[in-house]
């Protein structure tokens, strides 16, 4: 029996698509049970609908953060979700939400954390300018992209890069490492010790 996973998005959902494709494999230990967005027009919701997966809009405007998260938790309970993946979800989660899914929330970030946390990480890399950036999958804690790191992969930054070319190259890496991290997570192969994540055989 595969593990039910929720994916939270705010945009086009290319990382969601990578997860959907990976979870379609017979060897997958996870299945996407529901996709949730705080934006009604997020194209990722349409990606879910095309696969026959419940696609739910949970608005955040005119609500307290606590009420917004309570609405999401209600959906997660409804679909018996065991793991949550943030794939371009542009809202910071509170400690109360994270306690409900203690060490069971993953996030993908377009830099080699702890470098360039927060928004516009690719532009930060160009502005610095660094020679190498990349992507990181990490557990979510109450900080801004500060949780224990699961997988990272580097991406070179070229002198003629612009934001579009760099984003494209980083996204290709994100689409690879996020499904890998989810499969490790649902298989019970990730052990958190302080700030270190060990991958168990």
Q: Active-site residue 138, yes or no? A: no
pLDDT of residue 107: 98
Q: Where are the alpha helices (DSSP H) in the chain?
A: 14-23, 43-50, 65-78, 95-100, 121-127, 163-186
Fold of 3-199: Rossmann fold (3.40.50)
pLDDT of residue 1: 81
- The single residue of 60, 102, 109, 175 carrying the catalytic annotation is 109
Please give the chain's pLDDT, 201 residues, in tens: 899 999 999 999 999 999 999 998 888 999 999 999 999 999 999 999 999 999 999 999 989 999 999 999 999 999 999 999 999 999 999 999 999 999 999 999 999 999 999 999 999 999 999 999 999 999 999 999 999 999 999 999 999 999 999 999 999 999 999 999 999 999 999 999 999 999 998
Contacts of 144 (CB under 8 A, 6+ apart): 92, 117, 118
Q: How far apart are CA 184 and CA 83, in angstroms?
A: 12
């Amino acid at each position: 029996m595969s593990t039910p996973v929720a994916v939270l998005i705010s945009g086009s959902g290319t990382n969601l698509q990578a997860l959907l494709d990976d979870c379609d494999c017979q060897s997958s230990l996870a299945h996407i049970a529901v996709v949730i967005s705080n934006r009604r027009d997020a194209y990722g919701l349409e990606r879910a609908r095309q696969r026959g997966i419940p696609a739910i809009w949970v608005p955040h405007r005119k609500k307290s953060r606590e009420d917004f998260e309570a609405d999401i938790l209600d959906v997660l309970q409804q679909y018996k979700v065991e793991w949550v993946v943030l794939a371009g979800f542009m809202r910071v989660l509170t400690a109360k939400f994270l306690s409900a899914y203690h060490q069971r929330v993953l996030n993908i970030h377009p830099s080699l954390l702890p470098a360039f946390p927060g928004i516009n990480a690719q532009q930060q890399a160009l502005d610095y300018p660094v020679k190498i950036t990349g992507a990181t999958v990490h557990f979510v804690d109450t900080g801004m992209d500060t949780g224990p790191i699961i997988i990272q992969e580097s991406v070179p930054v070229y002198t003629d890069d612009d934001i579009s070319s760099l984003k494209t190259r980083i996204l290709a890496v994100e689409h690879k490492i996020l499904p890998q991290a989810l499969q490790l997570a649902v298989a019970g192969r990730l052990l958190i010790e302080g700030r270190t994540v060990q991958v168990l055989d």
